[in-house]
């Protein structure tokens, strides 16, 4: 059947319209596709290039080189050493425990270490590398590197780790570093990204902690190429960071080592100070500990030994320890009375062995009393009754004010951990803190450095330097930063009458050079090295009336923890002071017996720049002194490497 021509024409027009519509749609689609392709290939080329590279290129932080720490002569006391370590990334490893057990066939890795690493990996971000082993031996390191293809997610790395070549000698001053903990991060408002690098070391105590921002430096970056399993194939480029600052201390390594050896096994503290500049030449707390153990990861057994020791080796007694200063405080009371015009230097006060106040007796250390005492004799022979008398005239407010003037009861600005403030008590302080009124008896106790008065060995060294110079000398621990000397502002005058200072100094000289002086047995006979000093003994227990009647128990007959603290402060040479020293021996029994001999040896070493001549000691003591010297283990700066030898 033939179709109508008109139908054929209509059908043709319909097909043409459909073809045109389809062609138009195809043209629009091709145009949109072309535009999209241009947009992606041209306009977004950089973005997609970055996304593509991120599949094969990673950017990682490069830990900065930690700043070095030197002594005042440029000898290293905190440095860095090469460290080989093994890390694992959970995202690349998959089954972390399986990979670790495979790793254990190549290097020492016990069950506890495997469990700890698995736990840490589960706690951390999947793409964060976790340190499996630190300070790995080169043989183990090389073995793991060769077998790397069979250990997915495991990477061998080389870095630097902290080392303290002088071991215990600088432990309390310099401190130590350790891996960043969650607690460390919680204390920082905006943590530096470098702190999240596995096992990155941060200062924990001492200068390492207080100067962390300067010592840490700034991290660098490196671009590395990785394969599909995340294994590093090659390093494309590296941008090194900025190393930490180089710190030079005022401490003298040899003097520090000598003082540490001289304190021996005593629970004690010693501070040696340059009276002109305030430079701290030695700051020693005994016993000490090896900071390298903390860097490497101290064992539970080793840590228990330190924490359970009643001599408290982890505590820095030089700035954290607070002690009643005992008779080393008598110069403060004397100056307070002299400056207030309430004491005539020529006046003589009777000491019969005690002072009565109401129904209570305040005893002198010498049961029979000293007889009539003048100011110089009262310091030299350390008469308590003399100070009970003048304390009632001058009062606690003037005494405490003079103590603060001389550097006591205040926190000195030092980059050390937990610097204690001490205490110079006042009437208001007792009312606020104890809720009771100040009593005259409190003043008498304070006048001889007992009662509420508390000082640190650092403060006692500052006091000695200020007595020696009459100036407000401040302690300084950092000599230079990156070779730039730390400025030393001139110490202002204390504003004390020079005649009064001279009287107190003469009293300290009498304490050492007069036969009746409490430090006579620790005198210096070399004229050019003569030392002025003051002993002190601070009670740690109350002596009852009954005990006094039957006889006070000698310190050596008491348990160690109940014995008195022994103290000694001194400066020298007498006629041109250069060095001040403070010594505290916990439970040493008495300042003249335990602290003064150490103080004499230390100040003579500092003044002589090394072992002093035996001629500085009384003839009768020279053989003993020589034997004691030979028994000391001292650092030998001339020996190859870092080591010690017998002096």
Residue 2 forms part of a structural domain: no
Among 202, 227, 249, which residue terminates a domain?
249
Mark whether 312 and 426 lie in a shared domain: yes
**CATH number of the domain to which 593 belongs:** 3.40.710.10
Read off φ and ψ for residue 574, nearest 5 degrees. -55, -45
Is position 218 within any domain?
yes
**What would the pLDDT profile of 182-233 be if each residue is shown by its tens digit?**
788 888 877 887 887 767 889 999 999 999 999 998 877 767 666 655 555 6
At which residue do the structure tokens 């004491």 appear?
343
Unique residue bearing structure tokens 């990204």 = 193
Instruction: Output the domain CATH number for residue 180.
Output: 3.90.1310.10
pLDDT for the residue numbered 568 = 98
Biggest alpha carbon distance in the chain? 157
Q: Which of 203, 228, 249 is the last residue of a domain?
A: 249
Rounded Cα–Cα distance for residues 399 and 422 (Å): 15
Q: Which residues sit opposite 534 in a β-bridge?
A: 569
208 and 259 share one domain? no
- C-alpha 447/C-alpha 541 separation (Å) is 18
Report yes or no on 227 lying in a domain.
yes
Question: Domain of 180?
Answer: 63-249
Look at the chain and report how many structural domains it folds into. Answer: 2
Kindly tell me the burial class for residue 368, based on how many C-beta atoms sit within 10 Å of its own C-beta (0-12, 13-18, 19 or more).
exposed
Whether residue 38 is contained in a domain is answered as: no
Spell out the long-range contacts of 626-633 with Cβ–Cβ below 8 A and sequence spacing 24 or more. Answer: 632/258, 632/261, 632/262, 633/261
Expressed in angstroms, the distance from the first to the final Cα of the chain is: 132
Tell me, yes or no, whether 445 and 497 share the same domain: yes
Q: Are residues 343 and 266 in the same domain?
A: yes
Say if residue 221 is in the same domain as residue 269. no
Do both 318 and 441 map to the same domain? yes
pLDDT value of residue 541: 66
Q: Is residue 407 one of the residues assigned to a domain?
A: yes
pLDDT at residue 610 in the model: 94
Q: Does 97 share its domain with 235?
A: yes
Give a three-class secondary structure readout of 326-359.
HHHHHHHHHHHHHHCCCCCCCCCEEECCEEEECC
Whether 177 is covered by a domain: the verdict is yes
The string of pLDDT tens digits covering residues 365-390 is: 999 999 999 999 999 999 999 999 99
| Residue ranges, the chain, pLDDT below 50 | 51, 53, 642-647
Return d(Cα 222, Cα 205) in angstroms, integer.
31
Residue 45 domain flag: no
Which of 229, 249, 269 is a domain's end point?
A: 249
Query: How far apart are alpha carbons 462 and 250 in whole angstroms?
Result: 15
Q: Specify whether 184 is located in the same domain as 333.
A: no
Bridge partners (DSSP) listed for residue 569: 534, 582
Q: Are residues 226 and 262 in the same domain?
A: no
Give a yes or no: residue 19 inside a domain.
Answer: no
- Residues 263, 227 share a domain: no
Same domain, 204 and 174: yes
147 and 201 assigned to the same domain: yes
- Global model pTM greater than 0.75: yes
């Amino acid at each position: 059947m033939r179709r109508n021509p008109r139908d054929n024409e209509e059908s043709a027009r319909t097909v043409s319209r459909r073809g045109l519509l389809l062609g138009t749609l195809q043209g629009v689609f091709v145009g949109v596709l072309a535009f999209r392709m241009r947009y992606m290939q041209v306009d977004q080329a950089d973005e997609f290039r970055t996304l593509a590279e991120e599949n094969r290129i990673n950017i990682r932080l490069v830990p900065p080189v930690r700043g070095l720490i030197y002594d005042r002569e440029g000898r290293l006391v905190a440095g860095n050493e090469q460290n080989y370590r093994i890390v694992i990334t959970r995202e690349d490893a998959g089954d972390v425990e399986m990979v670790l057990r495979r790793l254990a066939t190549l290097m020492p890795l016990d069950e506890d270490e495997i469990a700890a690493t698995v736990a840490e990996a589960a706690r951390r971000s999947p793409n964060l590398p976790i340190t499996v082993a630190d300070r790995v031996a080169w043989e183990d390191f090389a073995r793991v590197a060769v077998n790397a293809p069979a250990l997915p997610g495991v990477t061998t790395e080389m870095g630097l780790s902290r080392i303290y070549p002088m071991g215990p000698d600088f432990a309390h001053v310099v401190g130590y570093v350790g891996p960043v903990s969650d607690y460390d991060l919680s204390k920082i408002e905006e943590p530096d990204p470098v702190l999240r690098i596995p096992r990155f070391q941060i200062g924990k105590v001492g200068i390492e902690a207080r100067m962390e921002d300067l010592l840490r430096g700034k991290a660098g970056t490196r671009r590395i190429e990785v394969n599909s399993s995340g294994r590093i194939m090659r390093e494309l480029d590296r941008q090194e960071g900025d190393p930490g600052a180089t710190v030079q201390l005022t401490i003298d390594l040899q003097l520090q080592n000598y003082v540490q050896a001289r304190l021996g096994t005593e629970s004690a503290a010693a501070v040696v100070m340059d009276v002109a500049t305030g430079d701290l030449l030695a700051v020693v707390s005994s016993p000490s500990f090896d900071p390298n153990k903390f860097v490497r990861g101290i064992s539970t057994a080793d840590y228990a030994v330190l924490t359970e020791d009643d001599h408290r080796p982890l505590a820095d007694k030089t700035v954290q320890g607070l002690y009643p200063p005992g008779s080393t405080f008598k110069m403060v009371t004397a100056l307070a009375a002299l400056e207030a015009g309430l004491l005539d230097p020529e006046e003589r006060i009777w000491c019969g062995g005690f002072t009565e106040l109401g129904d209570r007796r305040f005893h002198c250390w010498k049961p029979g009393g000293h007889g009539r005492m003048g100011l110089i004799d009262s310091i030299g022979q350390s008469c308590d009754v003399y100070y009970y008398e003048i304390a009632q005239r001058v009062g606690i407010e003037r005494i405490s004010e003079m103590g603060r003037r001389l550097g006591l009861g205040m926190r000195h600005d030092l980059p050390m951990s937990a610097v204690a403030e001490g205490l110079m008590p006042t009437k208001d302080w007792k009312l606020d803190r104890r809720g009771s009124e100040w009593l005259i008896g409190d003043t008498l106790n304070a006048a001889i450095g007992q009662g509420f008065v508390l000082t640190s060995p650092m403060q006692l060294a500052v006091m000695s330097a200020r007595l020696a110079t009459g100036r407000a000398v401040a302690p300084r621990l950092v000599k230079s930063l990156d070779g730039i000397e730390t400025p030393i502002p001139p110490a202002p005058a204390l504003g004390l009458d020079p005649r009064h200072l001279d009287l107190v100094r003469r009293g300290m000289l009498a304490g050492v050079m007069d036969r009746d002086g409490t430090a006579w047995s620790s005198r210096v006979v070399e004229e050019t090295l003569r030392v002025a000093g003051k002993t002190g003994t601070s009670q740690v227990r109350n002596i009852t009336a009954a005990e006094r009647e039957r006889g006070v128990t000698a310190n050596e007959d008491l348990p160690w923890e109940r014995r008195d603290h022994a103290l000694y402060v001194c400066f020298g040479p007498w006629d041109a002071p250069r060095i001040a020293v403070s010594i505290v021996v916990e439970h040493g029994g008495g300042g003249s017996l335990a602290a003064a001999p150490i103080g004499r040896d230390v100040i003579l070493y500092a003044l002589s720049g090394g072992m002093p001549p035996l001629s500085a000691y009384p003839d009768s003591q020279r053989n003993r002194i020589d034997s004691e010297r030979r028994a000391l283990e001292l650092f030998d700066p001339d020996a190859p490497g870092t080591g010690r030898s017998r002096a």
